Amino acid sequence: MDLEARNHSPPARSKSTTMRRLLMALNCVLLGVGITGGQLLSRLYYNNGGHRQWLSAWLQTAGWPLLLIPVAGSYASRRARDRGAPVLLCPPRVLLAAAGLGLITGADDFLYAWGLKFLPVSTSAILISTQLVFTVLFAFLLVGQRLTAPTMNAVALLTVGAVVLGLHVSSDRPAGVTRGQYWLGFALTLGAAVLYGVFMPLVELAYRCAAGGGRALTYAVAVELQLVIGFVATAFCTAGMVVNKDFQAIPREAKHFELGEARYYTVLVWSAVLWQCFFLGAVGVIFCVHTLLAGILIAVFIPVTEVAAVIFLHEKFSSEKGVALVLSLWGLASYSYGEWSDSRAKKKAEAAAEGQAS
């Protein structure tokens, strides 16, 4: 069902608000499950004999065909009402912008996958959290995101949590990784954080372009944009796999995978599914609220990834990780309180305005 962003009558506005909240909750779940599970499976691939960074990058967006289902459903619904309904709702110029975002995503995926080859999940997650700093910066510059005191407090707490976690990174270097490779992974992952910090405000900017000319911005448009982004990013990584001869190497790698050949392919399939959940959840949060909340949520799920890495990958849980968990939860509480306060203030202002009008 398409969710209109504006121009509602009071009953329709109430229904739309409820649907948007449900949609927001769903996208938060998708983002959290996707980023946690995707990172764990990517590291599991490397831990058990995987070596192809282009393949690992490709898996992050290879699940894009799953989005054909909701896109087809949206088109079928529109066509039932109007036989002349277009296949896609996005204007051509917005689809072209989405293709550009797909290239950025493909490059970001490769930097992340290559960096993770030399880093444990805990360290990689810490470095990826720095995307929040770049998200805040570019959201302010590109889309004019207002920075409130609670938001800046949340950013500060999450950043301090990442720094605290960073104090232990040199002590858990993966076996067989040299010091030089470790710092290469460090730099590559920071580069991925910068690119993703740019990517999210650009997605919000694409939404605004899609909603230009008086058109209502719908969730169907957001899914179409993610479909194009995923397709182009996958094509970018496919080219890298062809040049690197990854497709020929997959059967050989599967035979030598420490968990077995069948589990090798299971890891690949579920990696693609979970990473697609993450990307869809992230663009969904941007659609429902704004870019900054998506960045906050990505940072908040870092401690969850840390705990999961301890349980499933047997990585060490240090005191620094415990402190970071508390700081991250504190940061989320600060942001949530700020949003709640702003929402209550807006409702009071609207009620006062309605009272004066009557």
| Tens-place pLDDT, residues 225-273 | 999 999 999 999 999 999 999 999 999 999 999 999 999 999 999 999 9
What's residue 2's pLDDT?
44
> Please, which pLDDT band fits residue 214 given cuts at 50, 70 and 90?
low
Q: Considering the domain boundaries, does residue 15 fall inside one?
A: no
Q: What is the span of the domain harbouring residue 156?
A: 22-345
Q: Is 344 exposed, middle or buried (0-12, 13-18, 19+ CB in 10 A)?
A: exposed
How far is 344 from 45, CA to CA, in rounded Å?
47
Q: Considering the domain boundaries, does residue 4 fall inside one?
A: no
Rounded mean pLDDT of 28-41? 94
Cβ within 8 Å of residue 50, ≥6 positions away: 56, 253, 257, 264
What's residue 225's pLDDT?
92
Of 50-54, 133-137, 194-198, 222-226, which range is least confident? 133-137
Q: Considering the domain boundaries, does residue 354 fall inside one?
A: no
Full-model pTM: 0.84
With a cut of 50, say whether residue 7 has pLDDT above it: no
With a cut of 80, say whether residue 207 has pLDDT above it: yes
Cβ within 8 Å of residue 170, ≥6 positions away: 182
Express as a percent the part of the chain with pLDDT over 90.
41
Q: Considering the domain boundaries, does residue 16 fall inside one?
A: no
Rounded mean pLDDT of 337-348? 77
Provide the mean pLDDT of the chain: 84
The number of domains in the chain is 1
Identify whether the C-beta of residue 115 lies closer than 8 Å to the C-beta of residue 195. no
Amino acid at 78: R
Q: Considering the domain boundaries, does residue 153 fall inside one?
A: yes
| Tens-place pLDDT, residues 144-158 | 777 778 778 877 887
Q: Considering the domain boundaries, does residue 356 fall inside one?
A: no
Of 46-50, 68-72, 109-113, 144-148, which range is least confident? 144-148
| Tens-place pLDDT, residues 157-190 | 877 876 776 666 555 677 788 888 888 988 899 8
With a cut of 50, say whether residue 61 has pLDDT above it: yes
Closest Cα partner for 112 from 192, 22, 19, 195? 192
How far is 114 from 248, CA to CA, in rounded Å?
19
With a cut of 70, say whether residue 297 has pLDDT above it: yes
CA-only gyration radius of the chain, Å: 21
Q: Considering the domain boundaries, does residue 13 fall inside one?
A: no
Identify whether the C-beta of residue 328 lies closer than 8 Å to the C-beta of residue 302. yes
Express as a percent the part of the chain with pLDDT over 70.
89
Identify whether the C-beta of residue 150 lies closer than 8 Å to the C-beta of residue 335. yes
With a cut of 70, say whether residue 10 has pLDDT above it: no
What's residue 50's pLDDT?
93
| Tens-place pLDDT, residues 311-334 | 888 877 667 767 777 877 787 777
Q: Considering the domain boundaries, does residue 159 fall inside one?
A: yes
How far is 124 from 260, CA to CA, in rounded Å?
26
> Please, which pLDDT band fits residue 42 given cuts at 50, 70 and 90?
very high
Identify whether the C-beta of residue 110 lies closer than 8 Å to the C-beta of residue 53. yes
Q: How many other C-beta atoms are found inside a 10 Å radius of the C-beta of residue 85?
A: 14
**HSE (side-chain half, CA atoms, 13 Å) at 283:** 29
Q: Where do the DSSP E strands lie in the chain?
A: none
What's residue 314's pLDDT?
83
